[in-house]
Amino acid sequence: MKLHFKPRILDLIILAVAIAVTAIVSAKVYTGGDDKLYVHITADSGEWIEALDTDKKLEIQGPLGITYVDIEGGNVRILDSPCKNKLCVGMGEIGKENQWIACMPNRVFVRIGGRSAVTGGIDAGTY
């Protein structure tokens, strides 16, 4: 049995649109899209994702109480936490991809994610 398929104009349009969409999505995925950094906060009470370029103060509930996180000027820091030794407060500001701050007693973890346009910097892993 021999099948003869004769594409119509609508078939060709659908095929062209599918190829264009696939090419655009692939280009976005493999080139990284935009270079926006974001703050990802994880705690027992939930998860938050905020843009690093917005100024915001957050109150994150943990088992010991509230941890105050400040996003300002492209950096993020923990202002205060109910833990005893306050190491998380002493860690200061972070603002580069893959940096993090953790308040282990209150189970709050803050990290920077995304893709940075600046690459090749020195970090603790290369020191």
pLDDT in tens, 84-123: 999 999 999 999 989 999 999 999 999 999 865 555 555 5
CA gap 41, 45 in Å, rounded: 10
Burial of 122 (0-12, 13-18, 19+ CB in 10 A): exposed
Is there a domain that residue 46 lies in?
yes
Three-class SS state of 56: strand
β-strand partners of 40: 49, 111
Confidence of residue 7 (pLDDT cuts 50, 70, 90): confident
Residue 77 lies in a domain: yes
pLDDT at 83 over 60: yes
> What is the arithmetic mean of pLDDT over 59-69?
95
Give the number of domains in the chain. Answer: 1
Q: Is residue 41 part of a domain?
A: yes
Range in 23-32, 47-56, 62-71 with the lowest mean pLDDT? 23-32
72 pLDDT higher than 70: yes
Name the residue range of residue 49's domain: 37-114
Question: Is 95 inside a domain boundary?
Answer: yes
Q: Which alpha helices (DSSP H) does the chain contain, by range?
A: 9-31, 87-90
pLDDT, tens digit (0-9, with 9 covering 90-100), for 17-39: 999 999 998 887 777 655 689 99
Q: Is 1 part of any domain?
A: no
Global pTM reads 0.65
Whole-number pLDDT of residue 67: 95
- Convert 52-91 to b/e letters by CB count within 10 Å (16 or more is b): beeeeebebebeeebbebbbeeebbbbeebebeeeebbeb
Q: Does residue 43 sit within a domain?
A: yes
